[in-house]
């Protein structure tokens, strides 16, 4: 059973046990426009909550993707290097960015559920 939470910076996290799969929201991709390049963190890197973890570039601009929680990166999505446009076509599915082992589950308390995120982007 996974739970999906959201940050105010437009990342989503699908939480399964102590591992979170992280990506950017469909709202975020619609604001960015055509994604042409994604830079992912190295597996094994420890990220601090709100630290710049990845970069997503559209034709026009580069945007940081922040770590939504503190933890170690356990896996990254190799498909994004070959096909950055996946971020536009399936932001909250196939275009996940990385998986992170959550160091402190209490950090999840400050994140939004889907209803709160919808209100945030309304």
Partner 1 sequence: MLSRDDQYSLKKTPLHGLHVSLGGKMVPFAGYDMPVQYPAGVLKEHLHTRSAAGLFDVSHMGQLALRPKSGRIGDAARALERLVPQDIVAIAPGRQRYAQFTGADGGILDDLMVANFGDHLFLVVNAACKEADEAHLRAHLSDDCIIDSLTERALIALQGPKAEAVLAKLCAEAPAMKFMDAGPHKVAGIACFVSRSGYTGEDGFEISVSAGDAERLAKILLEDPDVRPIGLGARDSLRLEAGLCLYGHDIDTATTPVEASLEWSVQKSRRTGGTRAGGFPGAEKILAHFDQGASRRRVGLRTEGRAPVREGALLFADATSVEPVGKVTSGGFGPSLNAPVAMGYVPTSQSALGIKLFAQVRGQRLAVQVAAMPFVKNTYKR
Task: Name the site residues for partner 1 (rule: CB under 8 A).
Answer: 33-34, 36-37, 39, 55, 57-62, 81
Integer Cα distance of 75 and 98 in angstroms: 6
Please give the helix or strand (H or E) that residue 93 lies within, else none.
Answer: none
Task: Pick between residue 41 and residue 71 the one whose CB is nearest to partner 1.
Answer: 41
Task: Pick between residue 80 and residue 102 the one whose CB is nearest to partner 1.
Answer: 80
Task: Pick between residue 25 and residue 58 the one whose CB is nearest to partner 1.
Answer: 58
Considering the complex, what minimum distance in angstroms separates the CB of residue 19 from partner 1?
26
Considering the complex, what minimum distance in angstroms separates the CB of residue 23 from partner 1?
19
Considering the complex, what minimum distance in angstroms separates the CB of residue 122 from partner 1?
18
């Amino acid at each position: 059973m996974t739970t999906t939470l959201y940050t105010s910076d437009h990342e989503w996290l699908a939480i399964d046990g102590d591992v979170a799969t992280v990506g950017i929201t469909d709202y975020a991709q619609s604001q960015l426009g055509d994604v042409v390049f994604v830079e992912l963190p190295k597996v094994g890197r420890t990220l601090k909550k709100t630290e710049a973890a990845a970069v997503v570039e559209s034709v026009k601009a580069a945007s940081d993707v922040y770590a939504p929680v503190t933890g170690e990166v356990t896996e990254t999505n190799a498909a994004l290097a070959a096909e950055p446009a996946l971020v536009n076509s399936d932001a909250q599915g196939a275009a996940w960015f990385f998986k992170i082992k959550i160091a402190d589950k209490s950090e999840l308390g400050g994140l939004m559920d889907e209803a709160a995120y919808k209100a945030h982007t309304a």
